[in-house]
């Protein structure tokens, strides 16, 4: 029998469903930019399937997203990862992260590998090592103004309009993208991440190729999604199936 409760953390930004801790570790789910735990994981069936497998779920809304606080000062997002680290239990967890959520999980696991058992990351690859500040600012401006000529930027410009989010969403998401001290991922840093990692990447994802990330991780497995782009990844059944199998979390 599952039971739901709130862990000790700032209110309104996390959800936990707890199963029998003797079965398998909880699964941390971290969404990408401009979305939320509910939109990425709950609405796409991840939470229900993990519950059917007897797994507890820790769902986090990144700062500036979903039900989390939405500061509009980029400085408030400097130490973004600590917001997620605060909700981790004492025992190791499995984790699934998409895009910005994948970066968050990788950063935490590289610095605290003892807090993780297995990790699945999607929507990241060579882009981890090829950060483009100008591109980040272009995304921030598209989000702030709600206008863009580039089709990819148009997606980001439309994000705050999805789901009737509150009026402060644009300013908060623009601040998120403009935050100082973006983490620098290097092969040396990722070599510290000693737990098994599944990297899932669509063959049409702009984050690719996956090779630099696979080469940097000591224990990595690659799953390619055919015909899948970045934005379609969270709802792709290939991603879901590969992740559940890797975490030994198939529904009972």
Domains of the chain: 3-130+185-246 (3.40.50.1820)
For residues 86 and 100, the answer to whether their CB atoms sit within 8 Å is: no
The length of the chain is 252
pLDDT for the residue numbered 16: 54
* Model confidence band, residue 86 (pLDDT cutoffs 50, 70, 90): very high
* Model confidence band, residue 9 (pLDDT cutoffs 50, 70, 90): very low
For residues 57 and 47, the answer to whether their CB atoms sit within 8 Å is: yes
- For the stretch 31-69, pLDDT in tens is 999 999 999 999 999 999 999 999 999 999 999 999 999
Burial 91-114 (b: 16+ CB within 10 A, else e): ebbbbbbbbbbbbbbbbbbbeeee
* Model confidence band, residue 7 (pLDDT cutoffs 50, 70, 90): very low
**For the chain, percent helix, then strand, then coil, each to nearest 5?**
40, 20, 40
Rounded Cα–Cα distance for residues 199 and 188 (Å): 18
């Amino acid at each position: 029998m599952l039971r739901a409760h709130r862990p000790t953390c700032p209110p309104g930004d996390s959800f936990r469903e707890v199963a029998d801790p003797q079965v398998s570790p909880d699964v941390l789910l971290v969404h990408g930019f401009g979305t939320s735990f509910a939109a990425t994981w709950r609405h796409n069936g991840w939470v229900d399937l993990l519950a059917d497998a007897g797994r507890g779920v820790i769902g986090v809304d990144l700062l500036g997203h979903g039900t989390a606080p939405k500061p509009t000062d980029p400085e408030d997002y400097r130490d973004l990862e600590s917001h997620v680290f605060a909700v981790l239990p004492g025992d190791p967890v499995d984790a699934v992260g998409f895009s910005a959520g994948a970066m968050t999980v990788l950063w935490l696991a590289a610095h605290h590998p003892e807090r993780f058992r297995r990790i699945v990351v999607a929507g990241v690859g060579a882009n981890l090592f090829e950060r483009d500040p100008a591109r980040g600012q272009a995304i921030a401006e598209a989000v702030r103004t709600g206008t863009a000529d580039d089709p990819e930027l148009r997606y980001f410009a439309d994000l705050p309009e999805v789901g009737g989010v509150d009026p402060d969403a644009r300013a908060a998401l623009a601040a998120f993208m403009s935050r100082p001290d973006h983490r620098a991922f290097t092969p040396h840093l990722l070599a510290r991440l000693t737990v098994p990692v599944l990297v899932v990447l669509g063959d049409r994802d702009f984050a690719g190729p996956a090779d630099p990330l696979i080469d940097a991780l000591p224990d990595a497995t690659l799953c390619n999604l055919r015909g899948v782009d970045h934005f379609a990844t969270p709802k792709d059944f290939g991603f879901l199936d590969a992740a559940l199998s890797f975490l030994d979390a198939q529904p009972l």
